[in-house]
Amino acid sequence: MHGEYKVPGGKLVVVDLEVRDGRIADFHLAGDFFLEPDDALADIDAAVNGLPEESDVATIAAAVRSALPAGAQLLGFTPEAVGTAVRRAMITAPGWREFDWEVVHDEAVSPAMNLALDEVLTTRVGDGRRNPTLRIWEWNESAVVIGSFQSYRNEVDPDGAAKHGFDVVRRISGGGAMMMAANSIVTYSLYVPASLVAGLTFADSYAFLDDWVLEALRSLGIEATYQPLNDIASPSGKIGGAAQKRLANGGVLHHATLSYDMDGQVLTEVLRIGREKLSDKGTVSAAKRVDPLRSQTGLARDAIIERFIEVFSKRYGAVTGTISPEEYAEAEELVATKFGTDAWLKRVP
């Protein structure tokens, strides 16, 4: 059995093993990480050999950690990364390049259509009717997008939203509200089969699916890191956050919003947002602009998106794709019956 796990922001961990009589055997760890002392590699191999085949990530990591000599240095990986690679080997989880990827950056549609497309395309990937896809959002009107489980009245100030021209829509994933003013953020969605994240904990899958964007941000001069559970940050503060929805048919939706340029004063008038949450969004003053992508790169939003597409395509061999007329028609139907309805918007009053 063979398993690989690329540590988000770190190194590649590779394991080869067999299972005999219900236990791990002939285990060997490899990768492009750094490890001191050198012979600690044999200690890790010995720690994993003999473990029950059903051992979870935490059990494997604990065995590795207890076997390491005093003062051992693991650079670019962790005992948990070893455990994750083992679990992925056990279930033969495919890697990114085992799929045919598409990148979609189509014309602007309404925020409600963007949300409907998320459901349609995730469903189609889960059904095997669409290749795994990265889609960059474009929208033609401002909106507040609230999480699936958020209370409408607790999150949004209707008067402030109307004053600044923001519609309000609800997405199918959890998480917090995002304010989508024209040209103020970069939002993307990944539609992937569940097999890609097999063997990963729910929390680890967030960083795993966003590792490519850390590379893209670093190529633009931003020292980007992932902060559990779902935040993308730099030394200057939070840049954005991600959310997920997993469908019963095996489709996984992972989407993220990164702030390009946002008016902090408008933010506090449109959202019912306390001082503690405001500091989490990178500003302690309501009048301050939240603009990590613009201020830290000096680039136009389009140039940042172009780099994102370039890095993703090169890393995973993706080709340019588009949304079919049938997919658009299906999404329009969902807007009419779900995402554009008051029943959906206020399902949590």
- Domain locations along the chain: 2-90, 96-345
Pick the CATH number of 96-345 from 3.40.50.300, 3.30.930.10, 3.30.70.20, 3.30.1950.10: 3.30.930.10
pLDDT tens per residue across span 35-92: 999 999 999 999 999 999 999 999 999 999 999 999 999 999 999 999 999 999 999 8
DSSP 45-68: HHHHTT-BTT--HHHHHHHHHHHS
Domains 2-90 and 96-345 share a fold: no
262 phi, psi to nearest 5 deg: -135, 140
Residue 67, CA atoms < 13 Å, CB-side half-sphere: 18
pLDDT in tens, the chain (349 residues): 999 999 988 999 999 999 999 999 999 999 999 999 999 999 999 999 999 999 999 999 999 999 999 999 999 999 999 999 999 999 989 999 999 999 999 999 999 999 999 999 999 999 999 999 999 999 989 999 999 999 999 999 999 999 999 999 999 999 999 999 888 999 999 999 999 999 998 889 999 999 999 999 999 999 999 998 899 999 988 899 999 999 999 999 999 999 998 888 888 899 997 544 555 554 444 445 567 899 999 999 999 999 999 999 999 999 999 999 999 999 999 999 999 999 999 999 9
Name the CATH superfamily housing domain 2-90: CO dehydrogenase flavoprotein, C-terminal domain (3.30.390.50)
Contact 183, 258 (CB under 8 A): no
The pTM of the whole model exceeds 0.95: no
The region that residue 298 occupies, defined by phi over 0 for left and psi between -120 and 50 for alpha, beta otherwise, is: left
Contact 48, 83 (CB under 8 A): no
**What is the reported pLDDT for 245?**
98
* Cα–Cα dist 196/91, whole Å: 11
